[in-house]
Amino acid sequence: MEKARSPKNIFVQGPISSEKIAQSIANHATKTDIGGHSIFLGQIRADEKPEGKVIAIEYTCYEEMALEKAFEIREDVFAKYPLTCMHIYHSLGEIKVGEICLFVFTSSKHRKAAMQACDELVERIKAELPIWGKEILDSSATQWKVNT
Amino acid sequence: MPDRIRLKAFGMLAEKIGADSLEIENPGSSEVLRLQLLQQFPALQSLTFRMAVDRKLIQAETDISAGQEIALLPPFSGG
């Protein structure tokens, strides 16, 4: 039976730990109609810039708008693909190189829906959520991240 | 009710404006507001930004009423 969904908080203060990811996978063991999960993890990359090397990204957001938009995206993707579950987590605050800042997790009876939905979610999160990353460089300069 | 609006600025725009929240007199429309901001904060002239009215991105010139929340949004860079 479908349950009514309401906006959920997607934001996590600080990096997303591998324990949280492992726990999230484990939480699905009882949902035995699932046949495939798809997971995307965004990791902070040590980009080399003319002004220095990226050592961290500090994320801020327009929280009320981001949560409304994330809910709209969730509903669209649930309507488009036969998913059992969908989870989205995005970090706020300073996330160091090598740490995880985005965790998108979709589950379905069959792999294709989970994989396509996960891909679409990641693209829409990056394009449509009012979130900003400020890159902190090893020269202690900062610059605003640009999504490609 | 006084004809005022709440302005929020994010990311690079908050840095250029020097504040992340301002209360200003209602300019009446998004385009008038944009021109007013560019004049008041010349540093914004070289930047790309969009606006949201009550947390909805606007696509064209939009009327603004008293009490609404207007946000100035630089290009998104989440993920």
The pLDDT score that the predictor gives to residue A104 is 98
Q: Which residue of B has its CA nearest to A103?
A: B79
Domains in chain A with CATH codes: 11-144 (3.90.1170.40)
| Residue extents of the structural domains in chain B | 4-73
* Closest-CA distance of chain B to residue A126, Å: 5
Contact of A8 with chain B, judged by CB distance below 8 Å, is answered with no
Cα distance between residue A108 and residue A75, in whole Å: 15
* A 67-106 → B contacts, CB under 8 A: 68, 90, 101-102
Count of CB contacts below 8 A, A vs B?
A: 65
CATH of B4-73, one of 3.10.20.30, 1.10.10.10, 3.40.50.720, 3.40.50.300: 3.10.20.30
Cα distance between residue A73 and residue A30, in whole Å: 26
Q: What is the ipTM of this complex?
A: 0.94
pLDDT at A137 over 70: yes
pLDDT at A1 over 60: no
pLDDT at A42 over 60: yes
Contact of A44 with chain B, judged by CB distance below 8 Å, is answered with no
pLDDT-derived band at B1 (thresholds 50, 70, 90) equals low
What is the mean predicted confidence (pLDDT) over B28-52? 96
Q: How many CA atoms lie less than 13 Å away from B65 in the CB half-sphere?
A: 2
pLDDT-derived band at A3 (thresholds 50, 70, 90) equals low
The pLDDT score that the predictor gives to residue A7 is 81
Instruction: Summarize pLDDT for A109-123 with one digit per residue, the tens.
Output: 999 999 999 999 999
Cα separations in angstroms, A126 against A84, A110, A131, B12? 23, 25, 8, 17
